Structure 1
Amino acid sequence: MPPTRRNEDGLLARVNFPLYTLKMLTSRHIIVAGGGGAANTGVANGFEIYELSHDGERYVAEEIVRHETGTSVVMNCASYSNGHKSYLVAGQESHCQLYSVNAKVVDEKKVLNSEEKDDHKELRARNVSSKKENSEEEKAGEKKNSSSKRLKFEIKPSDSIQTDFCKDDPFQRVVRIGCSGKLMVTGGTDGHVRLWAFPSLKKLIDIAGHKKEIDDVDISPDEQTIVSLAKDGCGILWDVKSGKKIGELQWDTPENAKFLYKRCRFGVSEGRKSRLFTICNPIHRNTKLKSYIQLWDPIDVTLKRVAACNEFLSALSVSDDGKFVAIGTMSSGSVSVYIAFSLQRVLHVNSAHTMFVTGLEFLPSICEDSALSSCTETAVVSISVDNRICIHDLRYRSTIPYWLAIVFIVITLFFTLLICSFLGL
């Protein structure tokens, strides 16, 4: 049985607005976004960037920067960084807004020294006891010794393009950026899948792919294939270069019931071959039918493996090394982690959030930064409209030590030879 626990110590941070989207910005920085919408509710709209670290016992998040987007709520976003430049694209109603994310190293020691000088001037101006002054100076000295250089971010809006043209209520539902940083795909309420050159945002292909609004899209690691899911019940694979349909996701549903695909993500196998993961829910909620995680072969468009879930699913993520899949649920706000190739559940966090999970993102599988080193096999960050950012880690699973395995082999061979000798074989 996989380990099951409640989310008692996984809280990273709380924000003052509902969260709808989450992305890794760098190997140790996450960006979350959301908001209260255009209504004058007093709930902000925008982004927040957090820096993650590990103190030896648990993960810690520190807010780095906050950027508000006025009356436009951010419902979806994607990020790309090539080590020199970082970009962020965000769905804001019918448009896709491009942001440049400028990073700079700030020497907090110099900042603290400047603050200390100001503090000393204020202290001298006050009529306080020398004992209190010494105490303040000792604290300032401790701050100075613990300071270090840090990475700061500045978010600047750039180009904005309309990506959805629904006559009634145009709205961009999803945006993705390819691994190379040269391709972007968007989907919205008009059912079209649109491909764009990135970061120029020049439109490449417009595919009238679905009869109803799109729920999710993703780009394969080799950027040759795009998958799109929509409320018309279809999951379709498209060729990037031609925009033509490659195939459709089809399977024998339980009791011939109708299901809707909810989320899709490409991943890679150990042989670097593409794999496709989807989650789907039965159309009617008042049913005993289960929801499913599905593993597809995107080459011949066949279903390879499924795993049943007892409640409706809302979020999906695949680790960058393709080894793990994470899902989030609707009613209980739970998070689970599965082994990708077998869809065996290895971690379940019950009631990770008080409301449905809106986003999941794995931490990088390989991180050279010692600040994020830990004794966990993988870790996934989750967000929800309950304003909470949480992290859930999978501890290394216990295995038989190699020396014990050798002992077992030797004992087995010994008894095998003994039995053969006794039987005269």
Structure 2
Amino acid sequence: MPAEATPTTLSPEPGTASKTSFPLDVRFPVYSIAFTNDDTVLLAGGGGSSRTGVKNRLSMYSVDVKKRQISLVEEHELSKEEDAPMTVAVHPQSKSIVAGINSSVAQLEKGVNENLRVFSYDDKAIKYEKRKQTITSTDPDHYQKVTAISRTASSPLVAVGSTNSQLSLLSFPDLDDVFPSITYDGEEIYDADFNDEGDMLVGTSSNKLCVWSTKAADKDVEPEPLQVIERPVLKKELACTFRAAKFGRAATASNLYTVVNASPAGNVRKPPAGSKKAFVSLWDTRAWKLLKTRTVSQKPVTAFDVSEDGTLLAYGSSDLSVGILDAVTLRPLLTVLHAHDFPVTALKFNPSASVLISGSADNSIRVIEVPTLAQRGGSSATYAVLMTLLILLLAILIQQSFGDDLLAAARKAL
């Protein structure tokens, strides 16, 4: 079956858009999303090596929220003999794309799986550059699930996580091992992320969440983790597993956000109501102290992102919804209840955090307009400043009206 031509401009079907978002049929399963700049999004996915007629691709689209459409900028068609790109990350400073693409079945049978691919891009083209094997397994069911690039402009690092329990850290663009691949006790890697300085890496599997120093003392020796966060225990009839962990950015750089999915324990015959839920927790990385937790969905979370300015969190749930939270208070700011027909596979804020795009294996993306600061009711930092000013004003009024003795008592009460 010949591959279907990619449409150059996509607009929502009549009656499908809302005030805050609009869905688009991109005609291929979307497994990963990244932004190359504020108005250009990279979609990665395809039909894999099966004979579906759906080509594997990296497609760049310009996004016009006002016109409610996206327009194709460039498409890089990948081999139909290989797997679809399951994960991508972009390093804008070097105009590089790092993707996870399994080699062909014929290559896997030879013991070769050059899963890590590097591409360069500009305004007109996406160009293949190099590849490397990081996954030791050649089982076709194992693949590169996670790709993260540190946000440092010079000497960036690449983290690669796979479904066969490997977390690898590489220099970029050389792709040399910084330290030996870390094995996560047989659990597939769900997430990986760098802090702003690029000197810490967090890696997440369902049962293991560890923070590692990227400054390896010995590149031939597997390092010891800086911090290990244990899975929470809510109730004996619930089993909790990690789904994601990401550092804060900019103003929230000292935070770590973890996502945990809860489900009925295997030995529970009659699960209690509400036993399938997901919650987000906020940690202070300076003291490694849990600050707060909020339940965000009654179904497992499948995707998670933090905005580049560090003020917003986004999640996609298996109940087909997409939500946006305030990164300081964890309060909900926006929820799209039926964003896709299948669970969300990926979502990403653009650099200015004005747009959030989610994708799914149902061949769709959803473009979501992020609430402005005014629509959010101000930031948490603004609230803190206002509260401080109100307290000072109250203290002045008390002093003027009741004297120093009552002011002293009020200070003790505060």
TM tier, smaller: 0.7 to 0.9
Among 366, 386, 397, the alignment partner of 2:375 is: 397
Which whole-Å CA distance do the structure 1 matches of 2:248 and 2:377 have between them? Answer: 26
The answer as to whether partners of 1:7 and 1:349 remain within 8 angstroms in 2 is: no
Shift in CA distance, 217/247, structure 1 to aligned 2, threshold 3 Å = same
Unaligned runs of 5+ in 1: 1-5, 104-151, 367-377
Which residue of the partner structure matches residue 258 of structure 1? 239
Residues 26-425 of structure 1 mapped to structure 2, 5 A cutoff: 26-55=37-66, 59-71=68-80, 72-82=83-93, 85-93=94-102, 94=113, 95-101=115-121, 103=122, 152-166=123-137, 168-169=139-140, 170-180=142-152, 182-212=156-186, 213-231=188-206, 233-242=207-216, 243-250=223-230, 252-256=232-236, 257-268=238-249, 270=251, 273-284=253-264, 288-289=274-275, 290-308=277-295, 309-331=297-319, 333-365=320-352, 378-393=354-369, 394-395=371-372, 396-397=374-375
Instruction: Say which SS state the counterpart of residue 73 (structure 1) adopts.
Output: coil
Maintained 8 Å contact 1:7/1:352:
no
Partner amino acid for 1:40? R
Query: Contact 1:313 / 1:329 at 8 angstroms: preserved in 2?
Result: yes
Q: Which has the higher helix share?
A: 1
Question: More deviation in 280-289 or 195-204?
Answer: 280-289
Output one character per residue of 1:385-411: Cα deviation in whole Å (capped at 9) or x when no partner.
1212212222432759xxxx9xxx9xx
Distance (Å, rounded) in 2 between the aligned partners of 1:320 and 1:168: 36
CA distance in structure 2 between the aligned counterparts of 1:70 and 1:312, rounded to whole angstroms? 33
Please tell me whether Structure 1 or Structure 2 has the larger radius of gyration of its CA atoms: 1
In 2, the alpha carbon distance for the partners of 1:225 and 1:66 equals: 34
**Alignment check: 8 A CA contact 2:249 2:307 kept:** no
Of residues 197-206 and 316-325 in structure 1, the stretch that sits farther from structure 2 once superposed is: 197-206
Q: Displacement of 1:317 after TM fit? A: 0.9
Q: 2:340, 2:139 → 1: CA distance?
A: 34
For residues 279-330 of structure 1, the C-alpha deviation after alignment (integer angstroms, 9 at most, x for no partner) is 1212449663221111122333332211112221111111111111111111
Q: Distance in 1 between matches of 2:377 and 2:306?
A: 24
CA distance in 2, matches of 1:160, 1:154: 18
Closer/same/farther in 2, CA of residues 96 and 284 from structure 1, 3 Å limit = farther
**Residues 109-151 of structure 1, C-alpha deviations (whole Å, 9 max, x = no match):** xxxxxxxxxxxxxxxxxxxxxxxxxxxxxxxxxxxxxxxxxxx
Question: How many corresponding residue pairs?
Answer: 339
Residue 59 of structure 1 and its aligned partner are, at CA, apart by 4.3
Letter in 2 for 1:159: K
Alpha-carbon deviations, 1:204-235, whole Å to 9, x = none? Answer: 2124241122111111111111111113x111
What are structure 2's unaligned runs of at least 5 residues? 1-15, 103-112, 217-222, 266-270, 379-385, 403-414
Name the CA distance, whole Å, in 2 between partners of 1:324 and 1:312.
Answer: 20
Q: Which has the higher contact order (CA 8 A, sep 6+)?
A: 1
How far apart, CA to CA, are the structure 2 residues paired with 1:172 and 1:179? 20
Q: CA offset at residue 365 of structure 1?
A: 2.3
SS of 1:245's equivalent? coil
Q: For 2:135 and 2:86, how far apart are their aligned partners in 1?
A: 14
Aligned partner of residue 258 in structure 1, secondary structure:
strand
**Native 8 Å contact 1:16 1:44 kept in 2:** no
CA distance in 2, matches of 1:187, 1:339: 28
Identity, in percent, stands at 24
Q: Cα RMSD between the aligned structures? A: 2.9
